[in-house]
Amino acid sequence: MPNRPTPSALRKLSGSNLHRLNRNEARFAKLESLIPPTFLDDLGKEEFNRVGPELVRNGLLTKVSLMAFVAYCSSVSEMIHAENDVRENGLVLEQVLFNKEGVPIGTKRVKNPAVTVRNEARRQARNHMIEFGMTPASATGVKADVPDSSRASSFEDFLESPDVSEESDVDRLN
pLDDT at 62: 86
Are the C-beta atoms of residues 93 and 110 closer than 8 Å to each other? Answer: yes
CA 77, CA 73: separation in Å to the nearest integer? 6
45-60 confidence digits (pLDDT tens): 999 999 999 988 888 8
User: Which pLDDT does position 80 carry in this prediction?
Assistant: 97
Distance CA 44, CA 153 (A): 21
| 6 phi/psi in degrees, rounded to 5 | -85, 130
Domain ranges of the chain: 8-173
Q: Are strands 92-98 and 104-111 parallel, antiparallel or unpaired?
A: antiparallel
Alpha carbon distance 46, 125 (integer Å): 15
Which residue has better confidence, 126 or 64? 126
pLDDT single digits (tens) 97-129 = 999 999 999 999 999 999 999 999 999 999 999
* Cα gap 128→130, rounded to integer Å: 5
pLDDT at 31 over 60: yes
When the pLDDT of each residue in the chain is averaged and rounded to a whole number, the result is 79
User: pTM here?
Assistant: 0.66
Look at residue 25 in the predicted model and tell me its pLDDT: 61
Query: Rounded to the nearest 5 degrees, what angle is found at the Cα of 53, between the Cα atoms of 31 and 36?
Result: 65
Q: Which residue has the higher pLDDT, 124 or 157?
A: 124
User: How many other CB atoms are there within 10 angstroms of residue 54's CB atom?
Assistant: 15
